[in-house]
Structure 1
């Protein structure tokens, strides 16, 4: 059995250590910020994209700013989460290699950088996007911080909070671009996110087995059949809601100037439902096989899933903007 990585230091490097330690420390901090996770923040483009607002330069600029703000906020939460979970992560077969758990990044430094990034995110949101968007970013930081500190230990509530994080990303994008958000839109994102969150817990159970309780207390209340039930329910609601939204949105008179344009738009949006279902089914196959613990890894490696996402994006874009 491979031994756990031993901490290299339990203090912030002094000026004598910096020439040797600084490059490695900087790389480790970047890893802890989890840039791969930033792909989740593309949800800020969802509301303005569905409203056809991304062709307006100022709206696109606001959406890009919101994306940047959320990247900083999310990285602050990841730094905080890893600092709080360092001891438990050392008992995990994969997470023990995280820089804080491995002792490469000192916990005080992680807390300091988390504070800096969170503050920068709030200030940027206030300066560039207004008070409402800053308030939503603050709510995102508050909810995810509470999750890292305590809520992730409460069964069912933990996966609901994970899903709320995705919904808040979409709401922030809507506020940044002054686009109204429909209940249909939030329902699709909310239940789609719940589907992913349940898959994440299912993968953790499959990976940790008997050691699940030692890593995360909430896992003791879960079984894979129960989590599969949540996934099935969440996927069903997301699919039905998306169908209702796509068929209703396509026929809305505000989306086209005349009947022929409505029919054209309707055809593309309705066709996008096929790609949407294919994406969910493909992701489900990974979870059923014990994957799903790192959704971003699945997206980056699965070419069929990427192809389905590309097809969906094209159909959706033509339906909204065509």
Structure 2
């Protein structure tokens, strides 16, 4: 009798365990970042917060290094529901949300303090892009905006310390038209390429200059083919945390709140890690002679692009959010 009772209890325990596994849901998160990168730190924070708050009922599996495809491909897959989450740069998302082109404007944020306030999930900038997502009908939901470090110029040809040194350089830009406009105004020759093809393009001479965060420069070993690094500090990188509408609609209201709160924490981590990596990753490569660092006179760059701010914002219908950024104190 006792053996039969113990067997029955064991069977019930196994059944309960199987039921719990069946009820658990795993969401797939794509990012192009290779470690060390703020996108991965933000992804790990999102994962930890969601899994803790749901007692493991919802799990997040992170796929780094564009293993699920570059961002444009992953965003398309998200609309079909085969990928659930993405953390990436807004530049790569402009085919879906043209208003993100605003963040391609150089010298848009005057300080890290202003940038932090602009990324506040309760603020007008995130609120504006939340409406952009809703109105687009693209089948995607914005969970938050975050950082990723300050973007600088790198190249494989020569030291660049002034705007005149850019003349004629083949400058890799993402698909955003406004990125091309910004660098054309600075004298470069823009070439549109996916970031995943950049290393080879630099090796073969298809491109000889690009701009990126320091974490992307180091994490993708781009210094091996572009050892000249210039402190243009032209852009606080804006990144997005996005979930598929299909995955979002499967969540209960309680779980949606959990995701919003987790994304807010992940966004802070993304900004903080971007700053940390900017200050720590580059110097060892400079000290070892693998990177040649040039300090840049930013004033001529600012003088060239500042008049484009209003023009660009008006073209893409983003004057409202440009004004919101300017009014941050």
TM-score clears 0.5? no
What TM-score, normalized to structure 1?
0.27
Give 1 or 2 for the bigger CA radius of gyration: 2
What TM-score, normalized to structure 2?
0.26
Q: Select the structure with the greater relative contact order (CA < 8 A; seq sep ≥ 6).
A: 2
